[in-house]
Amino acid sequence: DTGVSQDPRHKITKRGQNVTFRCDPISEHNRLYWYRQTLGQGPEFLTYFQNEAQLEKSRLLSDRFSAERPKGSFSTLEIQRTEQGDSAMYLCASSRGDRGLQETQYFGPGTRLLVL
Amino acid sequence: KQEVTQIPAALSVPEGENLVLNCSFTDSAIYNLQWFRQDPGKGLTSLLLIQSSQREQTSGRLNASLDKSSGRSTLYIAASQPGDSATYLCAVRRGGSSNTGKLIFGQGTTLQVKP
């Protein structure tokens, strides 16, 4: 396993711009999750995919946010018309399935977004 | 609504001490509970996962216990070292019809182990 990777690691943008983040899960992991973490808080769930199907979206995910996972491999998270409140660490995680330790979610290094 | 709380928010101990981090959750209908470590500005590293049917899990100097009925979990760290300094997060996965796989996190306990 090469681990979960995320790109970019850091992003600075101006308010109103669009940004897109990418997550590459561990190969053969069929579940992929996006979380958002602000300073001093634990991560908050945004959305998750089982293969290519987006099965749940948090109310935190306003209509400015969209996530995709074409072909059930990598995923992208796009934020349109960014606001200063979107500044946070965006974390991606993947897991293999529902059996024992295979349920463990493995996290990527995160993308830190700063909206000026 | 499931809520997860971790106390204390911060902890400072001298090297070599044994210590306990606490995690409580409001809804006992969980599927599993996971403890993570997070270094500053980094992602999360999974430490231990306890299934709802289990009472504890051990890995090296770490031992995590789970008491579903009281809504509590503890992470015990033996013989703490400066390298253990990090933020420790617990997260629960809900069970039953709410079992969608998503984790609900506490706010974390930031641990500093002084040499």
- Looking at residue B60, its amino acid is G
Report the pLDDT averaged over residues B58-80. 96
Mutation pick from B21, B30, B44 vs chain A, by most beta carbons of A within 10 Å, is B44
Q: What is the mean pLDDT of chain A?
A: 91
Flag whether pLDDT at B7 surpasses 80: yes
From CA A6, how far away is CA B49, in angstroms rounded?
24
Nearest-neighbour CA in chain B from A33: distance (Å): 7
More confident call, A116 vs A72: A116
Tell if the CB–CB gap between A55 and B100 is shorter than 8 Å. yes
Chain B: closest CA distance from residue A109 (Å): 4
Query: From B51, which residue of chain A is nearest by alpha-carbon distance?
Result: A100
Q: What is the pLDDT of residue B94?
A: 83
**Chain A nearest C-alpha distance from B81 (Å):** 23
pLDDT in tens, A22-70: 999 999 899 999 999 999 899 999 999 999 999 889 988 889 999 999 9
pLDDT score recorded for residue A72: 85
Beta carbons of B101 and B107 less than 8 angstroms apart: no
Cα A79 to Cα A77: distance, rounded to the nearest angstrom: 7
Nearest beta carbon to residue A31 from set B41, B49, B101: B101
Q: Cβ of A42 and B46 within 8 Å?
A: no
pLDDT at A28: 85
Residue B98's pLDDT is what? Answer: 61
pLDDT of residue B70: 94
Going by pLDDT thresholds of 50, 70 and 90, the confidence category of residue A107 is very high
Q: Which residues of B touch A41 (CB under 8 A)?
A: 107-108
The predicted structure's pLDDT at residue B97: 61
Q: What's residue A99's pLDDT?
A: 58
State whether residue A109 is helix, strand or coil: coil
Q: Which residues of B touch A95 (CB under 8 A)?
A: 101
Q: How many CB atoms lie within 10 A of CB B100?
A: 15
**Is the separation of the CB atoms in A42 and B35 below 8 Å?**
no
pLDDT of the residue at A60: 82
Nearest CA to A75 among A3, A1, A28, A7?
A7
Q: Report the 3 state secondary structure along chain B.
A: CCCEEEECCEEEEECCCCEEEEEEECCCCEEEEEEEEECCCCCEEEEEEEECCCCEEEECCEEEEEECCCCEEEEEECCCCHHHCEEEEEEEEECHHHCCCCEEECCCEEEEEEC
Which of A8-22, A96-110, B83-97 is the most confident on average? A8-22
